[in-house]
């Protein structure tokens, strides 16, 4: 197949896969993936030549990153626009996971040793988005790495114990939700302190991985970038790798982050009271609408704390913009965010960095 024809066939497959996912039709989705892999063209035997194996790996990687991953991104957009429910999103993701398994199964004959090396791929503690880490794992496997894939929310102590047990050459940490960054930072510092380099990735680490760099981890934008970096040999942690994470972020010395974390419950409660006053429509909210609102305010305070942690107003402003879009799609006027931000501005008036971050988002 030439390059153009490959692209064409994937464009078609993308629509076919989207339709199959929309009907929660696992059998059809897997058939689309198999067809896109062109498995019919490959002899399903261990006795394959090097160039056929190379072709299988390349096709597998393309299907993972250019067919299945974009479908997941589309699911996210559909959920954000309120076009699909959380249950539908769960159903689709479960099918996508089966599609990844189909790729792994079809390409297995092309993966004969020896291994390039051994790495560990895991999500940070609290992170449920396992699919991005799974895609990274499968791509690395296809590039010849032995991969220990630990999946979602791995507590740091177990991560470190596992890396020591397996003597992995590097830890690849995935996170999609920025509020988990302080925990990710702890995981990065803990792995580095036992001499293991860390490569971070996923949306949580910010534009161009800016937060990964702040936490002294290497970063790659995607699975292919991860493979390239690992191929160059992950940089060993320096002599000063054993450290408390706080030492990377001198601004934490002002205690704003720890004070906000500690008083989070009180901040959420007071914000809820103030929002009710500034947004009288709330008095007619059903119990479940009220529950959502509490969740939203909890989220706002968590994102604010994280922005204070990394000292970046942009993190909070991006989150508030995203929340406004989510609320609009659900028929809730985004202006209901104003009383929440104003309330926090009042409550945190003695915290200059938090005030700056809130004011930037308010503006």
**Which residues of the chain form contacts with ligand B12 (CB under 6 A)?**
65, 69, 72-73, 75-77, 79-80, 89-90, 93, 126-133, 135-136, 172-174, 176-178, 199-203, 220, 222-223, 226, 319, 322
Which of residues 222 and 276 has its CB atom nearest to ligand B12 in the complex?
222
Determine the Cα–Cα distance for residues 337 and 297; give it in Å rounded to an integer: 9
Closest residue to ligand B12, Cβ-based?
A: 201
User: Rounded to 5 degrees, what angle do the CA atoms 173, 178, 184 make?
Assistant: 35
C-alpha distances out from residue 94 to 68, 89, 147, 183, Å:
12, 9, 22, 27
Which of residues 320 and 347 has its CB atom nearest to ligand B12 in the complex?
320
The secondary structure element, H or E, covering residue 50 is helix 50-63
Determine the Cα–Cα distance for residues 284 and 256; give it in Å rounded to an integer: 35
In whole angstroms, the minimum distance from the beta carbon of 310 to ligand B12 comes to 14
In whole angstroms, the minimum distance from the beta carbon of 146 to ligand B12 comes to 16
Which of residues 109 and 285 has its CB atom nearest to ligand B12 in the complex?
285
Answer whether the bond into residue 109 is a cis peptide, omega within 30°: no
In whole angstroms, the minimum distance from the beta carbon of 81 to ligand B12 comes to 9
Which of residues 79 and 285 has its CB atom nearest to ligand B12 in the complex?
79
In whole angstroms, the minimum distance from the beta carbon of 174 to ligand B12 comes to 3
Query: Are residues 155 and 121 in contact, defined by beta-carbon separation less than 8 angstroms?
Result: no
Which of residues 79 and 246 has its CB atom nearest to ligand B12 in the complex?
79
In whole angstroms, the minimum distance from the beta carbon of 344 to ligand B12 comes to 18
> Strand pairing partners for 198?
171
Determine the Cα–Cα distance for residues 345 and 278; give it in Å rounded to an integer: 14
Determine the Cα–Cα distance for residues 158 and 327; give it in Å rounded to an integer: 38
Long-range contacts, stretch 47-56, CB < 8 angstroms, 24+ apart = 48/109, 48/110, 52/110, 53/109, 53/110, 53/111, 53/112, 54/110, 56/106, 56/107, 56/109, 56/110
Strand order in the sheet with 145-151: 145-151, 117-123, 170-174, 198-201, 218-219
Which of residues 222 and 248 has its CB atom nearest to ligand B12 in the complex?
222
* DSSP track, 254-290: G-HHHHHHHTHHHHHHHHHHHHHHH-GGGGG--HHHH
In whole angstroms, the minimum distance from the beta carbon of 314 to ligand B12 comes to 13
Which of residues 115 and 128 has its CB atom nearest to ligand B12 in the complex?
128
DSSP state of 237: P
Which of residues 73 and 239 has its CB atom nearest to ligand B12 in the complex?
73
Which of residues 61 and 311 has its CB atom nearest to ligand B12 in the complex?
61
In whole angstroms, the minimum distance from the beta carbon of 317 to ligand B12 comes to 12
Query: Other CB atoms closer than 10 Å to residue 171's CB: what's the count?
Result: 29
In whole angstroms, the minimum distance from the beta carbon of 66 to ligand B12 comes to 10
User: Token digits for 182?
Assistant: 């302080």
In whole angstroms, the minimum distance from the beta carbon of 46 to ligand B12 comes to 28
């Amino acid at each position: 197949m030439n390059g153009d024809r490959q692209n064409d066939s994937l464009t078609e497959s993308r629509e076919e896969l989207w339709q199959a996912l929309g009907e929660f039709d696992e059998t059809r989705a897997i058939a689309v993936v198999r067809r896109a892999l062109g498995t019919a063209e490959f002899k399903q035997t261990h006795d394959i030549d090097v160039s056929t194996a190379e072709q299988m790996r390349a096709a597998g990687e393309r299907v993972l990153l250019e067919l299945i991953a974009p479908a997941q991104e589309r699911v996210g957009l559909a959920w954000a626009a309120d076009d699909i429910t959380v249950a539908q999103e769960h159903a689709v993701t479960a099918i996508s996971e089966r599609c990844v398994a189909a790729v792994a199964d079809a390409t297995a004959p092309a993966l004969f040793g020896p291994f390039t090396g051994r790495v560990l791929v895991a999500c940070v503690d609290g992170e449920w988005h396992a699919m991005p880490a799974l895609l990274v794992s499968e791509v690395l496997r296809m590039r010849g790495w032995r991969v220990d894939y630990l999946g979602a929310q791995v507590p740091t102590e177990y991560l470190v114990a596992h890396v020591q047990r397996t003597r992995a050459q590097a830890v690849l940490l995935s996170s999609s939700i920025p509020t988990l960054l302080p925990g990710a930072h702890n995981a990065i510092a803990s792995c580095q302190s036992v001499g293991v380099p860390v490569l971070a990735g996923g949306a949580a680490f910010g534009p161009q991985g800016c937060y990964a760099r702040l936490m002294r981890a290497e970063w790659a934008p995607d699975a292919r970038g991860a493979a390239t970096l690992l191929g160059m040999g992950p940089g060993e942690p320096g002599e000063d790798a054993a450290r408390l994470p706080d030492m990377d972020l001198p601004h934490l010395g002002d205690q704003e982050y720890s004070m906000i974390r500690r008083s989070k419950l009180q901040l959420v409660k007071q914000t809820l009271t103030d929002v009710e006053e500034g947004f009288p429509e709330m008095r007619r909210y059903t119990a479940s609408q009220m529950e959502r609102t509490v969740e939203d305010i909890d989220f706002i305070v968590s994102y604010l704390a994280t922005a204070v942690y990394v000292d970046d107003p942009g993190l909070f402003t991006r989150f508030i913009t995203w929340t406004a879009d989510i609320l609009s799609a659900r028929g809730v006027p985004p202006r209901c965010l104003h009383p929440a931000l104003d309330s926090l501005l009042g409550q945190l008036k003695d915290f200059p960095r938090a005030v700056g971050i809130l004011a930037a988002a308010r503006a």
